[in-house]
A and B are shown apart, each in its own frame.
Chain A
Amino acid sequence: GENVEQHPSTLSVQEGDSAVIKCTYSDSASNYFPWYKQELGKRPQLIIDIRSNVGEKKDQRIAVTLNKTAKHFSLHITETQPEDSAVYFCAATRGNTPLVFGKGTRLSVIA
């Protein structure tokens, strides 16, 4: 089955700097890669996703890149703000299989 590894487990950045979180996956048939943001005690919220037919997707300060050959994808947050502080999870699926999540990255943005 699919296995998703996520790094780093914790990340601290200064406000205004960029943050990058990386995930690798094992199943070459996986074709959908969402990223969720989870604040303490709250539900996971989808922030961006990418399908395997594109290599990059951007939404304002957030971007995701996908390298199918290397089987890894990354989340990029630019101009970080204190409200970006949360736990971020990557996930992967073939589409007809359940999401497999990484273990999460705790991002702290220091004002």
Chain B
Amino acid sequence: GAGVSQTPSNKVTEKGKYVELRCDPISGHTALYWYRQSLGQGPEFLIYFQGTGAADDSGLPNDRFFAVRPEGSVSTLKIQRTERGDSAVYLCASSLTLGDTQYFGPGTRLTVL
């Protein structure tokens, strides 16, 4: 079946703008995770969902970052008033349920000019 997909693959924006990044998990996967990967680093946890609710958002760096998963499938990561330091690859992963193997999407490369 189809893997995790993310759109857009690349996003270039200007400092101060608002962006939305989308993640489509593997069908039937109840757990969904967002990570951020900077150049030369491992993925860093941002937030994860079990179903529709955010089970843990302790990795979000500040209140400019927000994520939703209203129907328990697709998720959107929203970043307000973007800053140059937000530039990174944003990875989404899903698993059948919490604690199961996580499968990653291709990521969205965000560049803030």
| A residues at B contact (CB < 8 Å) | 6, 32, 34, 36, 42-46, 49, 89, 91, 93, 95-104
Complex partner residue of A34 from B41, B91, B101, CB under 8 angstroms: B101
Q: Interface residues of B, CB < 8 Å — how many?
A: 21
B interface, over-half SS? loop
Pick from B43, B48, B107 the residue with the most CB of A within 10 Å. Answer: B43
Q: For residue A43, which residues in chain B have a CB less than 8 angstroms away from its CB?
A: 4, 91, 104-107
Instruction: List, in ascending order, chain B residues with CB within 8 A of A98's CB.
Output: 33, 45, 48, 56, 59
CB distance from A2 to the nearest CB of B (A): 10
Chain A residues whose C-beta falls within 8 Å of the C-beta of B77 in the assembled complex = none
Known: A32-B99, A49-B101. A103 touches B42 (CB 8 A): yes
